[in-house]
Amino acid sequence: MTGSISDITARRVWDSRGNPTVEVEIATAGGARGRAIAPAGASRGTREAIDLRDGGDKLSGMDVQHAVANVRELIAPALVGLDATDQTAADRAILALDDSALKDRLGGNATVAASLAVMHAGAAAKSVPLWRHCADLAGAEPSLPLPEIQIFGGGAHAGRRVDIQDFMVMVPGATSFDEVMEITSEVYRAAGSLMGQKGNLAGVADEGGWWPIFDHNEEALETLVRAIELAGETPGDRVVISLDVAASEFGSQGRYRLALEDRELGRDELIRLLGRWLDDYPIMSIEDPLAEDDRDGMQAFTREFGNRVQIIGDDYLVTNATLLEEAVADRACNAVLIKVNQAGTVTESLDCLRAAKSAGYGTIVSARSGETEDVSISHMAVGFGAAQLKVGSFTRSERMAKWNECLRIGDMLGAGSFVAGQPLATTTWAHKAKGAA
């Protein structure tokens, strides 16, 4: 069996924040090789697989020597001899070593790097591009996803300088992935020059979006609308706004503290505030509008706005098929972020993706705020037939590598592969309706 896993190497490498992380390299008997690196979140859901960190004083406790050792000593012996093209069997072998909900024995950073490396080796053993192998695993039709791209960072990615975490744009009106890149680049530049004019240019946040110097959260939205206009676009026409509120970072048990504005909101007040933003700005997607523990809030928000905007569960669903099914029964959210390291393995991520697709939920493959040169998620988004891809901003190579990889894949797929923007583009949102009135 040429796909038989013959050798596994694990090493410590470094991510975009300069933190240690886990890399795994796999070779098969037939000479195929696969390599992958674990990403790391900063705003993490409490129910996602943990990153196993060594603790102590060194490297602020962030070292991953135990996770690396777990790959070498526990995961590697379990994978040797398995067929790299059989992702389910490989992931099952990993899960047999650690079936804890949070993967706290092996570490989600160890399991995800190993699982992704198997996926790469499987594609190489089949001599097909990774996106093709991903499509086989998912049983999906490959397509180029619609990007959502950060213009301003915030929350846990920008020293909590503003409360809302991601101010992003999407270009559902573009006719090609390449056009999305070009328009987003113009918007990003325009936002930078507006910040410069106000004397507010202070570098970039964790994911490469502009560092947010604003007096209140809504000022970021106002500036974003002006940036879209300065880029020569009509806000809400081809270019729309997407927010990741990441509300678990500033609220729990139905209480929310907007530190920048020095005020505390109850669940209903936060819903009203976000509802007004949906009326006043061309926002077509909103992630984690309420906290991960606020089931009532998420249900109420979805009841009120779910028919006019995409509502994504990230911390709320943590790429977990069971939580997704509960949300479907609850009528909470209408889309899910797929982060492979929240689940811990490729197979568990696919379980969640399939559950989402069969419930008619939107699917957005996402990077983490701590990233590397690893471009696995570009291939997964394409191969899984996910509607969207979120990788952070439009600067810094750990982000651009993923957008650029999509361009290369798009060339292989050919014209007509960028279809994902159309369902969003046909949605009517309040801002546009108001403008037309």
Q: Which residues are catalytic?
A: 207, 339
Amino acid found at 414: G
Among 109, 285, 366, 376, indicate the residue that binds ligand 2PG (CB under 6 A). Answer: 366
Q: Is the separation of the CB atoms in 342 and 101 below 8 Å?
A: no
Written as one string, the DSSP assignment of 300-346 is HHHHHHTTTSEEEESTTTTT-HHHHHHHHHHT--SEEEE-HHHHSSH
Residue window 202-221: x/- pattern of binding to ligand 2PG, with contact defined by CB under 6 A: -----x--------------
* 168 or 382: CB nearest ligand 2PG: 168
Identify the CA nearest to 407 among candidates 179, 150, 130.
179
Residues 286-315 that bind Mg ion (CB under 5 A): 287, 314
Q: Is 174 in a helix, a strand, or coil?
A: coil
Q: What is the CA angle 267-338-120, rounded to 5? A: 160
What number of chain residues touch ligand 2PG (CB under 6 A)?
14
Q: Pick the closer one to ligand 2PG by CB: 43 or 109.
A: 43
- Cβ proximity to Mg ion, 314 vs 351, nearer residue: 314
**How many Cβ atoms sit within 10 Å of the Cβ of residue 262?**
7
Please identify, using beta-carbon distances, which residue of 32 and 365 lies nearer to ligand 2PG. Answer: 365
- Closest contact distance (angstroms) between CB of 102 and ligand 2PG is 15
Task: Give the separation between CA 285 and CA 148, rounded to whole angstroms.
Answer: 9
Q: Which stretch binds Mg ion (CB under 5 A): 114-122, 237-245, 302-310, 378-386?
A: 237-245
Q: Is 206 in the site for Mg ion (CB under 5 A)?
A: no
Closest approach of Cβ 31 to ligand 2PG, in Å? Answer: 35
Query: E strands, 154-268, where?
Result: 166-170, 240-244, 251-252, 255-258, 263-266
Binder of residue 368, out of ligand 2PG, Mg ion, none (CB less than 5 to 8 A by kind): ligand 2PG
Shortest Å distance, C-beta 155 to ligand 2PG: 8
Task: Based on the shown chain and the rule CB under 6 A, indicate whether residue 230 belongs to the binding site for ligand 2PG.
Answer: no
Give the separation between CA 332 and CA 371, rounded to whole angstroms: 29
> Per rule CB under 6 A, is residue 166 in the interface with ligand 2PG?
yes
- The answer to whether residue 289 forms part of the interface with ligand 2PG (CB under 6 A) is no
Query: Shortest gap between Cβ of 350 and ligand 2PG (angstroms)?
Result: 19
DSSP state of 49: P
Contact 176, 418 (CB under 8 A): yes
| 338 belongs to the binding site for ligand 2PG (CB under 6 A) | no
- Using CB under 6 A as the binding rule, the residues of this chain from 41 to 100 that contact ligand 2PG are 41-44
Q: What gap in Å lies between CA 84 and CA 133, rounded to an integer?
A: 11
- The encoded tokens of residue 429 equal 């949102």
Residue 352 engages ligand 2PG in binding (rule: CB under 6 A): no
How far apart are alpha carbons 179 and 396 in whole angstroms? Answer: 20
Q: What is the DSSP letter of 73?
A: I
* 207 in contact with Mg ion (CB under 5 A): no
Beta bridge partners of 144: 418
- Type and span of the H or E element at 33: strand 33-37
Rounded to the nearest whole angstrom, what is the least distance from the CB of residue 157 to ligand 2PG in the complex? 6
Where along the sequence are the contacts to ligand 2PG (CB under 6 A)? 41-44, 156, 165-166, 207, 244, 246, 314, 366, 368-369
Q: Which residues bind Mg ion (CB under 5 A)?
A: 244, 287, 314
